């Protein structure tokens, strides 16, 4: 009888420990980082937006093939174009990605067996015919000849999981393509029209864009003509992700407008798509001299290929959740201490409140303790509070934090705010706060 009572007592203790552990696990999953806002999205529009995001050029072939002759640059002089051509190996080297799921099995087997020439531009043309090059669209005649090319949203805002090999795998939409060298692409095409807009020769233009580097872009270069910062550094920003926008009102670093405004802006002014665009703020010869000279503050076309797709594109972007950290990638005990710091002493939650982890407020450069160069390239003169979900991805990708990557890692970011706001965080507290950020 006595032994039975002891056994019962032990079982109760074990059950209690089990339930405590379960509650701890639930707290880890829910209380540490709350789930994102749930939006009432239309599945039909989400599906349409996915198609737009991945494959729709908005008619920008007129720019990429008609003006920049991308198709001829890809073919190369041996195949009726110009230059060396774009082989798959070169394409992968400048950050283009290949969707392995678009490849037929016999081609996969041939690549694996080394039977496909990855140094031949015609192999790239074959991949284009399969819609396998992420974010790049080729158009072919009935004989299979490449006639024109355009780009889609996915070029900059998708990558692959490298499941086949580096740069080749299943699509991962919404992720910034940190490997994409946009400047190298501009340097590869017939860029005389772009050099003319900047009133420089092609050699000078190439010397600039070829030094942008992977994951960098200058979305307003052809509006303000600013090539460098006052420091002499190239005036570029990091390509941002397109995920984690649940509850986020403004998509860009400097808060030009809402998500659909910026999608239209990029579609018309940067991608060269066929759509209407109007923003009187660009009719400012001091801030945007090239925009005024080109008249792009008010673009009107007879057939708008963008407007009807904006709602679906928005809903697809809103369906893309930020990635979650892998199990074991952060110290949970330290992260719990970091959460308390985030919400209290470190004052992070004053601008990054859960569950959005952004306040949808624009802040002056002095508020956040950085220079005003990029802010002043926008009509707002301010910076958006960036949402923090999935911030661990930026810690891993090597392109740095803030709009221009000025801070190499989370430690540098936390140290900046510790100094700027006189938080007096100890080294241990900074380490705990970083562990919480890695958990978001």
Residue stretches of the chain with pLDDT short of 50: 1-3, 5-7, 9-28
The Cα angle at residue 396 between residues 338 and 254, in degrees rounded to 5: 80
Which residues is 299 bridged to in the sheet? 277
The C-alpha R_g of the chain, in whole angstroms, comes to 25
Q: Are 100 and 170 in contact (CB under 8 A)?
A: yes
pLDDT value at residue 15: 44
pLDDT value at residue 401: 93
Stated pTM of the model: 0.91
**What's the half-sphere exposure (Cβ side, CA atoms, 13 Å) at 219?**
24
Helix, strand, coil distribution of the chain in percent, nearest 5: 45, 10, 45
pLDDT value at residue 11: 45
Which of 151, 142, 143 minimizes the C-alpha distance to 71? Answer: 151
pLDDT value at residue 30: 61
pLDDT value at residue 399: 87
Buried b (16+ CB within 10 A) or exposed e, 228-266: eeeeeebbbbbbbbbbbbbbbebbbbbbbbebbbbbbbb
pLDDT value at residue 4: 52
Which residues is 363 bridged to in the sheet? 383
């Amino acid at each position: 009888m006595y032994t039975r009572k002891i056994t019962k007592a032990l079982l109760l203790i074990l059950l209690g420990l089990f339930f405590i552990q379960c509650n701890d696990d639930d707290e880890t999953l829910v209380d540490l980082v709350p789930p994102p806002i749930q939006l009432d999205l239309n599945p039909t529009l989400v599906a349409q937006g996915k198609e737009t995001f991945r494959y729709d050029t908005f008619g920008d072939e007129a720019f990429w093939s008609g003006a920049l002759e991308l198709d001829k640059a890809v073919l190369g002089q041996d195949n009726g174009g110009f230059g060396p051509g774009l082989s798959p190996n070169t394409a992968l080297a400048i950050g283009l990605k290949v969707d392995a799921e678009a490849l037929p099995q016999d081609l996969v087997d041939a690549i694996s067996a080394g039977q496909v020439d990855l140094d031949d531009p015609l192999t790239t043309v074959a991949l284009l015919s399969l819609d396998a090059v992420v974010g790049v669209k080729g158009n072919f005649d009935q004989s299979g000849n490449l006639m024109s090319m355009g780009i889609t949203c996915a070029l900059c805002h998708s990558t692959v999981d490298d499941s086949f090999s580096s740069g080749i795998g299943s699509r991962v939409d919404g992720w910034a393509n940190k490997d994409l060298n946009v400047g190298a692409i501009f340097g590869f095409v017939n860029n005389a029209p772009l050099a003319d807009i900047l009133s420089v020769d092609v050699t000078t233009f190439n010397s600039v864009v070829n030094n942008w580097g992977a994951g960098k872009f200058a979305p307003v270069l052809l509006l303000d003509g600013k090539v460098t910062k006052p420091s002499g550094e190239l005036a570029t920003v990091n390509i941002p992700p397109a995920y984690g926008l649940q509850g986020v009102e403004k998509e860009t670093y400097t808060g030009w407008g809402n998500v659909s405004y910026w999608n239209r802006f990029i579609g018309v002014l940067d991608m060269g798509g066929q759509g209407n665009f109007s923003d009187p703020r660009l009719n400012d010869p001091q801030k945007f001299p090239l925009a005024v000279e080109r008249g792009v503050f008010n673009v009107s076309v007879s057939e708008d290929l963008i407007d009807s797709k904006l709602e679906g594109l928005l809903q697809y972007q809103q369906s893309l959740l930020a990635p979650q950290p892998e199990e074991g990638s952060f110290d949970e005990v330290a992260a719990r201490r970091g959460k308390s710091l985030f919400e209290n002493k470190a004052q992070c939650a004053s601008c990054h409140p859960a569950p959005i982890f952004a306040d949808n407020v624009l802040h002056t450069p002095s508020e956040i303790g950085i220079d005003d160069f990029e802010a002043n390239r926008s009509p707002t003169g301010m910076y958006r509070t960036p949402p923090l979900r999935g911030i661990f991805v930026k810690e891993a990708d090597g392109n740095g934090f803030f709009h221009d990557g000025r801070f190499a890692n989370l430690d540098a970011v936390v140290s900046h705010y510790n100094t700027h706001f006189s938080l007096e965080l100890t080294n241990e507290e900074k380490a705990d706060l970083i562990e919480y950020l890695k958990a978001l």
